[in-house]
Amino acid sequence: MKKKQLHPRKNFKIRQYIASKSILHLTLVYVGINAAIAVLLAAALVVITRQPAEAVNYFYYLYTELFGKEPTWALPDRFMYQNIRAFLATLSLLSPSIFLGIVVYKFFVLKRDNIVFRSCCDTFVEGHEQYINIHFYISSSLRLINLQFSAFLRTYEKCREDESGKLYPMNTFELNLNGDAFYPLPYNYVPSRFRIKLKDNPMAGVRSEGTSVVIGDDGRLQIHAPDRKFTLNPKAGDFCELYIIARGEVPDIQSSFYEVKCYRIPEDLSPDPLPQMHTRFIRERNSFEVDNWQDFENGKLNRRQRRAAEKRAQRT
């Protein structure tokens, strides 16, 4: 007899599903599950009573009772019928309670979507050094403090899939950030950005000890890590991802949060500068106004830019 496999374990799947889906999505799932239960019970009653003409009525009675409506129909006083009645009564109590618990969990547990990032980012050169601009704004109505960003580069070398005894094919490198990646008292709903250095100045003569990336015209990426240098070829199955981790505190509810954003390099790099966001501070209201919110999502690559980025990634 084959022994049951114990690994990998996948814990907290339901909790992760609830946390990652919207209230509307969870409501539709709740309604769909109740409908499926009503269909199964109605089918069982049709088989037991041998009255297929009553299938629609059975479904209606069962479905409405699952949502808490008082039963307005009766079943014969027999053992099988009463088992169905008891099962239905239990579900009609548990189902709304579970859904109410999900709603409370979604509304009162701070989990995600406090930070909205642009779907792509752009690069610029300053003093022979290349940087990536990361654009974001705080979408939460709650006050955030001590907002801090970290950046990591995750690489995958397909050629090392069979050499894991020497070096894993997937590796993660931390990227150095400037002081503008820390916001002690940020404003909500204000487009902001910070930059990440990709490439050092070759004229300086001394390279920093952090990780740097050189994106070639052929789509290959030269990774200069502290311990070694290597090349990634996307066409050969290699890939490179930039992970942004945001963390901060929410004093109103005495809580903290963490959020993660992933960019594919170079697919999510715009070949052209993204539209600048225009903001101004209104002293009387102690808040910012943004003149061109419509340009924030224009940060998405258009068809021409996406095609150019994909060609750059696939070119050999």
The residue-averaged pLDDT of 266-288 equals 86
Percentage of the chain beyond pLDDT 90 is 15
> What distance in Å separates the CA atoms of residue 79 and residue 76, rounded to the nearest whole number?
9
Q: What is the pLDDT of residue 28?
A: 93
Please enumerate in sequence order all residues whose Cβ is within 8 A of that of 223, keeping only pairs 6 or more positions apart, or say none: 153, 155, 173, 211, 212, 213, 229, 230, 231, 232, 240
pLDDT surpassing 90 at residue 142? no
Q: What is the band of 312 on the pLDDT scale with cuts at 50, 70, 90? A: very low
Question: Is the pLDDT reported for residue 205 higher than 50?
Answer: no
Residues 282, 134 contacting (CB under 8 angstroms): no
Confidence label for 78 from pLDDT (cuts 50, 70 and 90): low
pLDDT of residue 8: 53
- pLDDT greater than 80 at residue 94: yes
More confident: 71 or 55: 55
Residue 204 has pLDDT above 50, yes or no: no
Residue 303 confidence (pLDDT) above 90? no
Give the model confidence (pLDDT) of 22-70 as tens digits. 888 889 999 999 999 999 988 988 888 788 888 898 898 888 888 877 7
pLDDT tier for residue 151 given thresholds of 50, 70 and 90: very high
Of 278 and 141, the structure prediction assigns the larger pLDDT to 278
Q: Please report which confidence band the pLDDT of residue 299 belongs to, taking 50, 70 and 90 as the band edges.
A: very low
- The answer on pLDDT for 21 being more than 90 is no
Integer Cα distance of 154 and 114 in angstroms:
24
Tokens of 268: 């999510």
For residue 102, give the H/E element and its range: helix 79-108
Q: What is the pLDDT of residue 4?
A: 63
Q: What is the pLDDT of residue 311?
A: 54
CB neighbours of 1 closer than 8 A, spacing ≥ 6? none
Give the lowest-confidence range in 58-67, 120-129, 206-215, 289-298: 206-215
> What is the overall mean pLDDT for the chain?
80
pLDDT of 75: 64
Position 247 pLDDT exceeds 50: yes
Q: What does the pLDDT average to over 274-296? A: 86
Give the Cβ contact number of residue 193 at 10 Å: 18
Hey, which of 20-24, 71-75, 164-168, 221-225 has the most confident mean pLDDT? 221-225
At 271 the pLDDT is 80
Say if strands 269-270 and 121-126 run parallel, antiparallel, or are unpaired. Answer: parallel
**pLDDT value, residue 131:** 87
Q: Summarize pLDDT for 153-197 with one digit per residue, the tens.
A: 999 988 887 765 667 888 889 888 867 789 999 988 889 999 988
